[in-house]
Structure 1
Amino acid sequence: MSEAPVRPTGPVRPADPRPNAVVAVLALAGITVSLMQTLVIPIVPELPGFLHASASDAAWAVTATLLAAAVATPVAGRLGDMFGKRLMLLVSLALLVTGSVVAALSDTLVPMIVGRALQGLAASVVPLGISIMRDELPPERLAGSTALMSASLGVGGALGLPAAAFIADHFDWHVLFWTSAALGVVALALVVLLVPESSVRSGGRFDAVGAAGLAVGLVSLLLAVSKGADWGWASGTTLGLFALAVVVLTAWGLFELRTARPLVDLRTTARRQVLFTNLASIAFGFSMFAMSLVLPQLLQLPTQTGYGLGRSMMTVGLVMAPQGLVMMAFAPVSAAVTRAKGPKITLMIGAVIVAAGYGLNILLMSQVWHLVLVSCVIGAGVGFAYGAMPALIMGAVPASETAAANSLNTLMRSIGTSVASAVAGVILAHMTTSLGGTALPSENAFKSVMAVGAGAAVLALVLASFLPGRPPADAPPAGAPAEPAAESVH
């Protein structure tokens, strides 16, 4: 049984959607969202004082964004496939602006958490942007453009850290969120003016039950992972949340397999190319974030430890900033390798480079330039990998499921970063040294986290080796024009 996709009525848009403008605007939107994610890092230690709250309560300003992003990403992707990717992109950017304004006006904990949660709901901008590119760009432009869009996550995060540190040092902390709101307004206006709406729609009925089930399962899982160190890994709360996540996600999966219009088509997700790309994405998300946890602490720890460099948060931002530029610089290289050898090879090359970067970090960690070099090497590897992942996903799913599939892949990376934070936190908390009666992570603790990061990259390499050398014969090639194929009903 099948149903033809819904297509919009009205004037037909021009055949050429001004690809350069579309790519530039979508990349700017991606950078804006990734800036939001690093915005609060420089003020995390001061948040309890700013919000008149305890440190554990103030930490919800970060956790709320993580949880909201996890829930919103697959939902927005599916809605984008059904009702229009540009429409959902505009909704996401509007939520970012609203959340930024709420946070900018807040002086207490609750409105800050609300604002940060609304900002987190905008996390689907990057997968939606990649999906719009598939619909709007000529095939020869797609690989490079999607690689650039993926790199925007790292670019925004890396450049946002020194910018946020500068603003926090020289202005009132509310300016951070006003800046985020202003960037969001600019991105929103440019999308309205320059990005066309795609005619590729799947139509159908939204799976509200599936969305609710996935939300409960993901929130339970990520809450246990992110708060387990504070609550205790063996505490009733943590174990109860893990158990709830297992039960709910299992029931959700069975429901999705039986429903006619699932939120996530698990049959498509189980295809070898999609499955192993998503598994490799978890490993890459873990590996990338491990560096983000280690390098700032190494730079800021006092020199009396013998391995800390005693630098400021501003220096941390400047050290991390080149990584984002390297990711952007390697986006076209990633695309060229993908065109020549296929995205599987590109992904494997990225895994090797990231693993080598962590190995280098174990040997070189005593000078600022050592850490700049390491961040650039790892950034190059991540640039390769993040450019290959959308190509792998889009090479294995029909155009009518592009946004949902890319959103799920983005979610897998987020799960990897959450697990990395938990694992690194355990290692750094249990391998300590004492300085003036204060327990600090030891040098071996940092080297252990680096070794685990290298191991995650090697795991991604192994998982990538199981990918098919080329897309299945019955799958549309990445960048191919959308066909008016009917959507299957299971």
Structure 2
Amino acid sequence: MNPSITEQRAHHQLTFSVLAAGAATFGLLQSLVSPVLPTIQEALHTSQTNVTWVLTVYLLSASIFTPIMGRLGDMSGKKRMFVIALGALAIGCLLSALATNLLVMIIGRVIQGVGGGVLPLAFGIIRDEFPRDKVAGAVGSVAGLSAAGAGAGIVLAGPIVNAFDYHWLFWIPLILLLLSGLAAQFVVPESPERKAGSINWLTAALLSGWLVALLLAVSEAPSSGWSSARVLVLLAVAVVLVVVWVVAESRAEHPLIDMRMMRIRAVWAANLVALLSGLAFYASFAFLPQLLQTPSAAGYGFGASITESGLMMLPQTVGVFVLGLVAGRMALRFGSKNVVIAGSVIGTVGYLLIAVAHDREWGIYLITLVIGVGVGMAFAAMSNLIVAAVPAHQTGVASGMNANIRTIGGALGASLMASIVTAGASPSGLPEESGYTNGFLMLSGALLLGALAALFIPAVRRDPLTHAEPDVELRHAEAALVPGGTLVGDESE
């Protein structure tokens, strides 16, 4: 083994701390502004429709740049691109904090989307630099910390705005990002793995095109209606572009997303689970606080403030955090596939309980804990599956696409939830309780489908010495990715 690599791996715990800090801060920025959009709307003197672009452009930008940053990391160095991703997040936070109008705020959020590469790059660094028996636990923990950071954003938004003002929703992450970026530059070793080639900008443009069309369609649907001409045209454009994109990627000498890799059963099955679990988890960020903040005079809800509703969702964040930390060990003992299935089923029960039993405050605390436990298990173990399923030089782009699909699922879920919740309104103008009931039943059904989709993930034999999972699955993936290679043994055990 190369002595320099051995020396680098001796510091894997310190490296993990830096990667975890960056991932958690990225997760925090995903949700921190969601509960306070009305405050930002008033401060920037804009409309409710326009202020939603603060969220939408971030999703669009992250969807486009996540796989690109993962590919650049595979080509030119994951540590270098990880620092650049943190830098982009910091610059975006600075612009957003200083924004005095909506345009500057939106530009800042677009730049923040470049930071979507933080997760796939962190997974790739772990895969390259950590001892083999530490990879599963570290990947699961980073994934869990990112999800926990997203949950923490909901909890912390109210106290931050009450104590300071909404600008500090960006100043505080900016400080954390600067510290994480400096630590990454001086502590994280540069990974030895490299992927030859270049960015195929044609396929990158096609990827951007269909993602933009799809997310614009699902963003417009709640206000314009799914049957409106604008939404139907955008969906048609997305379908055409995705077909052209797949054909172009399949024929490209240096594809951005290797279609042969995407055909690996562990990869496409984990991506399907990611779509469905992202649909459920991220959609609840906006609508569960809204349910809790509804005045009790409406016949449901608790009339909670932003801070109070955040505290009621605190158990969810705790559940995601704790299970994210232990999911790696659970995966080594029971198998990542089984942990994903169990987490999806637990999450299904949680959303089902929210749908039918949301009239007791103590019950909300218990139910959000159940949701957090399920999501923490599923997200962390899913990341392990992707890392185990592809060769090292494909880690960044594969995990980037998986994270990207979760983002797309979240956008779809939010749009579907908005359509269901706002389908009817009470005389007071508030949504009917049945809208929330039907919406959370839909999210519960999505996670149940995710559990069923996880059954298609092939079981991976564990190394008898280290109990780590990657070996067999890596050999399968490498065979599938080599022209003329034979993929054998791709059956669930």
State the TM bucket, normalised to the shorter chain: over 0.9
Is the aligned partner of 1:36 residue 2:26? Answer: no
Aligned to 2:91: 98
Is the aligned partner of 1:456 residue 2:409? Answer: no
- Aligned-pair RMSD on alpha carbons? 2.5
Secondary structure, aligned partner of 1:204: coil
Structure 1: distance between partners of 2:8 and 2:164: 47
Structure 1: distance between partners of 2:218 and 2:30: 18
The CA deviation string for residues 452-472 of structure 1, in whole angstroms up to 9 with x for no partner, is: 111111101111111112269
Structure 2: distance between partners of 1:208 and 1:453: 36
Q: Is the 8 A contact 2:272 2:453 kept in 1?
A: yes
The CA deviation string for residues 182-215 of structure 1, in whole angstroms up to 9 with x for no partner, is: 1110110111122111000112121111111101
Of 103, 123, 130 in structure 2, the residue corresponding to residue 137 of structure 1 is: 130
Aligned to 1:59: 52
Aligned to 1:312: 305
Q: Is the 8 A contact 2:67 2:397 kept in 1?
A: yes
Aligned to 2:455: 465
- 1:315 offset after TM fit, Å? 0.8
Of 339, 343, 348 in structure 1, the residue corresponding to residue 341 of structure 2 is: 348
The CA deviation string for residues 89-131 of structure 1, in whole angstroms up to 9 with x for no partner, is: 1111111111111111110111111001111221121121111
Of 379, 385, 400 in structure 1, the residue corresponding to residue 378 of structure 2 is: 385
Secondary structure, aligned partner of 2:116: coil
Residue correspondence of structure 1 range 266-281 to structure 2 within 5 A: 266-281=259-274
Is the aligned partner of 1:19 residue 2:9? Answer: no
Of 386, 391, 394 in structure 2, the residue corresponding to residue 401 of structure 1 is: 394
* Distance 1:174-1:258 versus aligned 2 partners, 3 A rule: same
- Paired amino acid for 2:448: V
**TM-score, reference length from structure 1:** 0.92
* Distance 1:449-1:480 versus aligned 2 partners, 3 A rule: same
Secondary structure, aligned partner of 1:430: coil
Q: Is the 8 A contact 1:273 1:471 kept in 2?
A: no
* Distance 1:58-1:360 versus aligned 2 partners, 3 A rule: closer
Structure 1: gaps (5+ residues): 1-8
Of 199, 224, 232 in structure 2, the residue corresponding to residue 239 of structure 1 is: 232
Q: Is the 8 A contact 1:396 1:472 kept in 2?
A: no
The CA deviation string for residues 402-432 of structure 1, in whole angstroms up to 9 with x for no partner, is: 0100000001111111111111111111133
Structure 1: distance between partners of 2:409 and 2:273: 10
- 1:10 offset after TM fit, Å? 13
Aligned to 1:112: 105
Q: Is the 8 A contact 2:65 2:117 kept in 1?
A: yes
Residue correspondence of structure 1 range 29-428 to structure 2 within 5 A: 29-428=22-421
Q: Is the 8 A contact 2:39 2:166 kept in 1?
A: no
- 1:346 offset after TM fit, Å? 0.8
Secondary structure, aligned partner of 1:200: coil
- 1:163 offset after TM fit, Å? 2.2
Aligned to 1:445: 435
Structure 2: distance between partners of 1:91 and 1:293: 30
Structure 1: distance between partners of 2:388 and 2:338: 14
- 1:336 offset after TM fit, Å? 2.4
Is the aligned partner of 1:477 residue 2:467? Answer: no
Q: Is the 8 A contact 2:90 2:178 kept in 1?
A: yes
Bigger mean CA offset, 153-162 vs 394-403: 153-162
Q: Is the 8 A contact 1:218 1:245 kept in 2?
A: yes
- 1:351 offset after TM fit, Å? 1.1
- 1:480 offset after TM fit, Å? 8.2
Q: Is the 8 A contact 1:398 1:476 kept in 2?
A: no
Secondary structure, aligned partner of 1:123: helix
Q: Is the 8 A contact 1:139 1:479 kept in 2?
A: no
Secondary structure, aligned partner of 1:63: helix
Structure 2: distance between partners of 1:251 and 1:266: 13
Structure 1: distance between partners of 2:179 and 2:125: 19
* Distance 1:129-1:479 versus aligned 2 partners, 3 A rule: farther
Percent of aligned positions with the same letter in both sequences? 34
Structure 2: distance between partners of 1:339 and 1:222: 36
Q: Which runs of 4+ in 1 moved over 4 A?
A: 9-13, 478-481, 483-490
Structure 2: distance between partners of 1:225 and 1:97: 28
* Distance 1:353-1:486 versus aligned 2 partners, 3 A rule: closer
* Distance 1:148-1:426 versus aligned 2 partners, 3 A rule: same
Structure 2: distance between partners of 1:416 and 1:458: 15
Structure 2: distance between partners of 1:62 and 1:99: 13
* Distance 1:393-1:229 versus aligned 2 partners, 3 A rule: same
Aligned to 1:432: 425
Secondary structure, aligned partner of 2:238: helix
* Distance 1:16-1:443 versus aligned 2 partners, 3 A rule: same
- 1:367 offset after TM fit, Å? 2.2
* Distance 1:290-1:172 versus aligned 2 partners, 3 A rule: closer
* Distance 1:147-1:472 versus aligned 2 partners, 3 A rule: closer
The CA deviation string for residues 113-156 of structure 1, in whole angstroms up to 9 with x for no partner, is: 10011112211211211111111111221111111111122211
Structure 2: distance between partners of 1:352 and 1:127: 26
- Paired amino acid for 2:454: A
- Paired amino acid for 1:477: D
Structure 2: distance between partners of 1:300 and 1:15: 49
Bigger mean CA offset, 9-18 vs 234-243: 9-18
Bigger mean CA offset, 352-361 vs 376-385: 352-361
Structure 1: distance between partners of 2:196 and 2:114: 22
Q: Is the 8 A contact 1:17 1:136 kept in 2?
A: no
Secondary structure, aligned partner of 1:122: helix
Q: Is the 8 A contact 1:428 1:445 kept in 2?
A: yes
Q: Is the 8 A contact 1:19 1:136 kept in 2?
A: yes
* Distance 1:365-1:206 versus aligned 2 partners, 3 A rule: same
Secondary structure, aligned partner of 1:197: coil
